[in-house]
């Protein structure tokens, strides 16, 4: 097999590794992920060169086999090392493969303007243009596209299935053209027209897909806004109930003062002091509890404090977050709301005599830490510290953690479920 074909295949494996490393968030640290990807890249490149030297087939057969090997190895590594929903990752990897097929076909289409497939310059020009397009496109993706993909708030995994199906279908079309088109480019045939038509249709399709993703993201944001509004309404209702009780109490103040005066006049100061102590407790119970000066967190905790009290579940809070966080209010409400909602339902279902939920929020110079503990009976099946069966609530928490590069871990010990979340600041 010619040397330039081996160089081209090595560049493909290298570019695939670069792309998959940066295509989405990785489960492992950046340095460890880089080490794994490029170790696989070196090993696979070496094996491919050995295969080319040993296998007796023609160049087209060798290239077809090695393209398939690259597809399988790169896809497997990406799915094992990247975070996120399976179907979202599937959509991303096939979208990337579509781009690669377009770059490959376009490069050889340009090369056909300068040489025929029978000539060596045809492949050298094609490999050079493909490598420039393939690796060069990574820069705008990392700096302008990746962050937007990470921030897509779509919590229903099934919504990604039709997008995956369409991307797989178009990948099949482009991969077939990749297999047959490289050797048939000729400006005197309809091949160029077919390719350009396929390119236009693919571009139009992805315009529709991007619009659909933005629409799903907007729907998810609207759901979070509704959740935020619900907590605000609960807080307003709590204030209204408190104000109504205060009004009644203020109306009765004169009677309370007269009663204490009568006790003192009757020479019974101890009874008057006991009455004042009881009066003080009632006044304190009527005041709205303030957990922190962060309005969003305080409103949410106040809302859930009333709900826990209605269900006779002990609710304790320790909050040391007093300034506004660098996090959208809807994301903060979505995460804390779902965290407390899950804790409340688990505590309510618990058969223990003492039911409790406790939440601790604190921040330092580097991290925002959130720990939530609650009584529970039903054991959660955990995989790497995350529940295996994820409902919408847990998916929402994970999605917010993903957007802001946070870490979350669940643990169950002696009937207590603990959730620890850490966000870098």
CA distance 293 to 320: 9
Q: What is the pLDDT of residue 238?
A: 62
Structure confidence by residue, pLDDT tens digits, 69-111: 888 888 899 999 998 788 889 999 999 999 999 999 889 888 8
Q: Provide the strand spans (E) within 231-352.
A: 314-320
Structure confidence by residue, pLDDT tens digits, 205-228: 999 999 998 888 888 777 766 766
Bridge partners for 422 per DSSP: 369, 407
Residue 32: phi and psi, rounded to 5, are -70, -40
| Nearest CA-CA partner of 26 in 83, 96, 87, 109 | 83
Whole-prediction pTM: 0.74
Residue 67 pLDDT level (bands cut at 50, 70, 90): confident
Q: What is the pLDDT of residue 373?
A: 94
Q: What is the pLDDT of residue 375?
A: 92
Q: Residues of 135-167 as b/e, b for ≥16 C-beta within 10 angstroms?
A: eebbeeeeeeebeebbebbbbeeebbeebbebb
């Amino acid at each position: 097999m010619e040397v330039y074909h081996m160089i081209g295949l090595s560049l493909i494996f290298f570019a695939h590794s670069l792309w998959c490393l940066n295509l989405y968030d990785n489960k492992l640290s950046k340095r460890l992920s880089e080490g794994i990807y490029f170790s696989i890249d070196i090993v696979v490149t070496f094996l491919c060169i050995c295969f080319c030297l040993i296998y007796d087939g023609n160049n087209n057969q060798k290239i077809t086999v090695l393209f398939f090997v690259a597809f399988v190895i790169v896809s497997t590594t990406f799915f094992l090392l990247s975070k996120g929903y399976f179907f979202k990752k599937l959509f991303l990897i096939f979208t990337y493969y579509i781009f690669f097929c377009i770059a490959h076909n376009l490069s050889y289409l340009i090369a056909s303007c300068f040489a025929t497939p029978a000539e060596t310059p045809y492949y050298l020009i094609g490999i050079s243009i493909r490598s420039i397009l393939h690796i060069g496109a990574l820069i705008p993706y990392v700096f302008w596209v990746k962050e937007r993909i990470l921030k897509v708030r779509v919590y229903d995994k099934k919504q990604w299935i039709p997008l995956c199906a369409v991307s797989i279908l178009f990948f099949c079309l482009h991969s077939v053209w990749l297999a047959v088109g490289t050797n048939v480019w000729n400006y005197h045939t309809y091949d160029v027209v077919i390719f350009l038509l396929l390119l236009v249709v693919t571009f139009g399709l992805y315009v529709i897909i991007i619009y659909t993703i933005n629409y799903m993201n907007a729907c998810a944001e609207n759901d979070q806004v509704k959740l935020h509004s619900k907590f605000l309404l609960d807080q307003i209702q709590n204030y209204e109930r408190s104000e109504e009780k205060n009004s009644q109490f203020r109306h009765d103040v004169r009677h309370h003062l007269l009663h204490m005066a009568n006790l003192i006049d009757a020479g019974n100061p101890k009874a008057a002091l006991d009455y004042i102590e009881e009066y003080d407790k009632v006044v304190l119970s009527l005041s709205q509890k303030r957990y922190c000066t962060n309005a969003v967190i305080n409103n949410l905790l106040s809302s859930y404090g009333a709900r826990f009290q209605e269900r006779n579940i002990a609710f304790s809070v320790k909050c040391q977050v007093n300034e506004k966080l660098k996090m959208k209010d809807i994301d903060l409400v979505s995460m804390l709301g779902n965290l407390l909602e899950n804790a409340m339902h688990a505590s309510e279902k618990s058969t223990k005599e003492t039911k409790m939920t406790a939440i601790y929020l604190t921040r330092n110079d580097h991290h925002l830490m959130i720990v939530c503990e609650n009584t529970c009976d039903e054991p959660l099946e955990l995989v790497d510290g995350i529940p295996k069966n994820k409902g919408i609530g847990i998916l929402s928490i994970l999605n917010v953690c993903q957007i802001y590069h946070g870490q979350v871990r669940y643990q169950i010990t002696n009937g207590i479920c603990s959730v620890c979340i850490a966000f870098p600041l």
